[in-house]
Amino acid sequence: MMVASELQGFSMSLGSKKPSFYRDMNLSSSFTGSRVNLLHSKNVASGFPQGKFFSVTQRNTTRRFLATSTLADVANDFMALQSPILTGREASPKTVASIILGGGAGTRLFPLTQRRAKPAVPFGGCYRLVDIPMSNCINSGINKIYVLTQFNSQSLNRHIAQTYNLGGCINFGGGFVEVLAATQTPGESGKKWFQGTADAVRQFLWLFEDADHKNIENILILCGDQLYRMDYMEIVQKHINSCADISVSCLPVDGSRASDFGLVKVDERGQIRQFLEKPKGELLRSMHVDTSIFGLSAQEARKFPYIASMGIYVFKIDVLRKVLRGCYPNANDFGSEVIPMAAKDFNVQACLFNGYWEDIGTIKSFFDANLALMDQRPKFQLYDQSKPIFTCPRFLPPTKMEKCEVINSLISDGCFLKECTVEHSIVGIRSRLDSGVQLKDTMIMGADYYQTEAEIASLLAAGNVPIGIGKNTKIVNCIIDKNARIGNSVIIANKDNVQEADKPTDGFYIRSGITVVLKDSVISNDTII
């Protein structure tokens, strides 16, 4: 969690090209080189810059490569780094505005999205999902940020206002963070809510016709439910260098996951020639490509024969207007409609990303990504001082633990743990764990407020359950949403290995075998789930 001084530092630095903590770092946006056997280590981070892009170019009939490599967990073969060669002018964050898409219903993350927008779902004990793209923007020096919302947006709006306030009436170098809520406007089309990702952006295109945005050249489109760390100015630089109309951030994937993504086929110049959204069967097999053209070894190319879209796009602003208003005025979604059609009519470039990236739009992927934060060498590192993940400063006291055993876990601020065992679990802010509690492979999102000792004693005396987890309760493989009240001697273990169950009146759902205890729910004493 960022302290107040750190958040003030990021706010004051938004008017400059890079945040103050980032400004002194010497980061180059692209490299060229030929393939060599450079590293033989499973830990890519130890020898290679994270979050770089690379593409394919042709110079004097010799195949050359821009930037670097593949995935954080792919690879022994990489590119030899040489002097940067830029084919275009240097990209400036002042000419980029970002749009974070947060308007979807989040049905795949239900019931966590029952009362909140998907980007507002708590993550990692003290963060929200929206903090990931927001922090990436800030760390990239991009300070013109819009967040599109539609469903259950109250908690997201509050989090944005409390966390990313750039000083009220004071203008920090033209930087801003604005929430764009779905609204109705005059005319027949204005009576509809957002019909998809592209339609949401279309409805607010008029914003970029304002004189305040006359210097905006490129629009960065981002998702609010992904986990990764990226310098967005690298893809913008590659976008400029390749003279692309649209650039799509991509990564190689294996056959087991390929049908979950939009897949692309590219030519030797990196231009996308075909785009299919979540193909299956014969269509999936038709998207098989030789990924060695992007620098993968023959072995890795066989393992990762597909190129998946990450749902991150860069548009020239005039192309965005032309695409959404002129060419495809009835196209409502970027992935399934706009990008596949634009690939036939515009220069759409693929930019392969070599860092860790995870789509956390389902309960299982969300749960797995959270628990992976406790790995000895996590693929997503929260403890990166040069590129921090920002969130709301809550000014909570340190956690108090009495005679506890904590193994490979994350304990957030402001918690009370008494004579309990916590193994491979995340304990969110303001959590209360009573004596005899045993947690394993569990994520507790915490609480929005404290109950006083007098309130807790009064509730217990009346036979009611206070916020937190009661005595001698055992919980395994579970997500516990905020403000949940779990009584004494409760067992949540799903011993029958039920994969799907809806028990809202009992305070829980089961998704992919993971028990999800609802926000503000009450699980009575001695309950067995």
Looking up tokens 């990436």 gives: 136
Looking up tokens 């990764």 gives: 228
Tokens of 285: 């097999």
Domains (ranges, CATH) in the chain?
Answer: 91-370 (3.90.550.10), 398-521 (2.160.10.10)
Q: State the pLDDT at residue 514.
A: 98
| Alpha-carbon span 368 to 386, nearest angstrom | 26
- Cα 79 to the center of its chain, rounded Å: 27
Amino acid at 77: D
Number of alpha carbons in the 13 Å side-chain half-sphere of residue 502: 2
Amino acid at 234: E
- List the one residue out of 405, 423, 417, 519 whose CA is nearest residue 471: 417
Tell me, what DSSP letter sits at residue 281?
T
What region, left, alpha or beta, does residue 233 occupy, with left being phi > 0 and alpha being psi -120 to 50 degrees?
A: alpha
| Alpha-carbon span 18 to 521, nearest angstrom | 44
Buried-exposed string 420-446: b where 16+ CB fall within 10 A, e elsewhere: bbbbebbbbbbbbbbebbbbbebbbbb
Q: Which residues pair with 352 in a beta bridge?
A: 54, 250
| Alpha-carbon span 396 to 152, nearest angstrom | 27
| Residues in contact with 123: Cβ distance below 8 Å, sequence separation at least 6, in sequence order | 129, 131, 132, 227, 360, 366, 370
Tokens of 56: 């394919």
- List the one residue out of 438, 424, 422 whose CA is nearest residue 372: 424
Q: Which residues pair with 462 in a beta bridge?
A: none
Looking up tokens 């008017």 gives: 15
Q: State the pLDDT at residue 338.
A: 95
Angle in degrees, CA 374, 380, 384, rounded to 5: 100
Q: Are 281 and 263 in contact (CB under 8 A)?
A: no
Mean pLDDT of all residues belonging to the chain? 83
pLDDT in tens, 6-62: 444 344 344 444 444 333 333 333 323 333 333 333 333 333 334 566 555 443 333
| Alpha-carbon span 347 to 315, nearest angstrom | 11
- List the one residue out of 258, 288, 253 whose CA is nearest residue 274: 288
Tell me, what DSSP letter sits at residue 233?
H
Mean pLDDT by 10 residues, the chain (529 residues): 41 42 36 30 35 49 33 33 51 94 82 92 96 96 92 87 70 76 66 81 88 88 94 96 96 90 90 92 91 84 93 97 94 92 95 90 94 94 91 95 97 97 98 98 97 95 96 98 98 96 96 97 97
Looking up tokens 């779905």 gives: 182
- List the one residue out of 287, 222, 292 whose CA is nearest residue 257: 287
What region, left, alpha or beta, does residue 334 occupy, with left being phi > 0 and alpha being psi -120 to 50 degrees?
A: alpha
pLDDT in tens, 261-294: 999 999 888 899 999 988 999 999 999 988 887 7
| Alpha-carbon span 192 to 198, nearest angstrom | 14
Enumerate helices (H) and strands (E) in the chain, giving the number of each: 12, 34
pLDDT in tens, 447-466: 999 999 999 999 999 999 99
Q: Are 101 and 310 in contact (CB under 8 A)?
A: no
Q: State the pLDDT at residue 424.
A: 98
Q: Are 420 and 456 in contact (CB under 8 A)?
A: no
Q: State the pLDDT at residue 249.
A: 96
Q: State the pLDDT at residue 450.
A: 96
Q: Phi and psi dihedrals of 318, rounded to 5?
A: -70, -30
- Cα 66 to the center of its chain, rounded Å: 25
| Alpha-carbon span 232 to 129, nearest angstrom | 18
Q: State the pLDDT at residue 53.
A: 63
Q: State the pLDDT at residue 8.
A: 40
Tokens of 380: 């997503």
Pairing of strands 262-266, 306-316: antiparallel
Tell me, what DSSP letter sits at residue 212?
G
| Alpha-carbon span 66 to 32, nearest angstrom | 5
Pairing of strands 500-503, 508-511: antiparallel
